[in-house]
Structure 1
């Protein structure tokens, strides 16, 4: 089953493994009861080359833990939320949502099919009105989202977790231009931001141990995401992983100035 996942989708299995590890810690930053099932179902991906993946996981473990908690907090209170490249996170099933909240999960068809199979086997029940939207974010995903019931007249919370680095500059700009056009006043968006771009220490460390994954990276907006958002009608703010690590009671990461940008329309 996991062998049918596209290359980018396969990275979501590794991230699920990291979420499962974090969920098992006594001082966990979040609890994801489905992460282990996703990783178990997809573990065949890693057979034959466990060491590089284990080392890459060690590089990203804290970053993924902090990232997951940050985006969990970011979506809180949202009544219409769109998870762009939703991957194997189970926010619709594990978080408390406002009454009447709707969550749209957009990802490649094979990723969502794998996800649905595992969630069904686990007997998972969403805590909101959840709609899976099979679509390629490099193509016409807007029509699919609208056909699924998305209301562009309502303020929307947009999350692009672990996504933009896999897109080229033009693809990232096109995606965010579409998001902007769909965003009513009061909408919010968040995604990773690395002010040092390709020179970010965490990315450099990852390239040394995980070339199979990092070869898929294309850079997204690079280092000027806040400037792009500001120029397109958003009010951006940034926060670093180091700052969040301290806030969450973890040791600050000293190999990156990266973090997240959030913006409001």
Structure 2
């Protein structure tokens, strides 16, 4: 089953493995009871690929902090869209308000893999969950609206681990579509690296090597807050180092990056 995942989808298996590691810590920043099942179902992808395994450990703390931060960001949303939802199980593991709707947008093969594993686990969502199988480089906004998304309602948008796999043009098209679908009061968040391609964490990862780094196209580089401000959003940023201190972890010294959040 894992062999059918597209290259970008395969990275989601590695991230699930890192979430499983964090979930097993006594001082864990979050608990994901399904992460281990996702990784076990897809781990054949990494058999014999030592570089990919080492690459994963480069991002272990980044993923732990990112997951906790984004968990807190989407908490309480009544209409939430997870762009490139991957193998995270927020619809199943977070507490959602009554009537909350979560739309998970990702490639058909990724969502099919995810559904199969969740079914084996007998997982039940804690909100109204809708999977939207579509390539985000295609007309995903039409597919989202056809699935029941209400553009007149404020939306929480999350693009976790996504933009780096898009070219600048693709990232701008994606965020332009998000903006057009966002009623006043909508919020969005994704990774922000002010140093762009020169980010220390990314350089470390490239030195380790592996299939994942060859897929990186850069997204908005270091210009995300400026782009959002120019398109009617009010952006704020926070660094991984700042969050590490807040969460009781050793701060990463290899990056000035973190996350951008913005309100429409």
Could you say which TM-score interval applies, normalised by the shorter chain? over 0.9
Provide the TM-score with structure 1 as the length reference: 0.99
C-alpha contact (below 8 Å) 2:52/2:211 kept by paired residues: no
Matching residue of 2:231: 232
Partners of 2:113 and 2:140 lie apart in 1 by 20
Aligned to 2:31: 31
Deviations 1:44-90 (A, max 9, x none): 101121x2122111100000000000000000110000000000000
User: Tell me, what secondary structure is at the counterpart of 1:97?
Assistant: coil
Which residue does 2:10 correspond to in 1?
A: 10
User: Aligned residue for 1:45?
Assistant: 45
- State the match for 2:60 in structure 1: 61
How do residues 119-134 of structure 1 correspond to structure 2 at under 5 angstroms? Answer: 119-134=118-133
Structure 2 length normalisation: TM-score?
A: 0.99
- Note the residue ranges of structure 2 that are not aligned, 5 or more in a row: none
Please state whether the residue corresponding to 1:239 is helix, strand or coil: strand
Deviations 1:162-195 (A, max 9, x none): 0000000000000000000000000000000000
Equivalent residue number for residue 252 of structure 2: 253
Following superposition of structure 1 onto structure 2, how do residues 1-265 of structure 1 map, counting pairs within 5 Å? 1-49=1-49, 51-265=50-264
- For the residue of structure 1 that corresponds to 2:59, the secondary structure is helix
> Runs of at least 4 residues of structure 1 off by over 3 A?
none
Does structure 1 conserve the Cα–Cα contact (< 8 Å) formed by 2:46 and 2:53?
no
Structure 1: 5+ residue runs without aligned partners?
none
Give a deviation string over 1:201-229, Cα, whole Å, max 9, x none.
Answer: 00000001133110000000010100000
Output the aligned Cα RMSD.
0.5
Helix, strand or coil for the counterpart of 1:21? helix
CA contact (8 A) 2:81 2:105 kept: yes
For 2:205 and 2:63, locate their aligned partners in 1 and report how far apart those are by CA, in whole Å.
Answer: 13
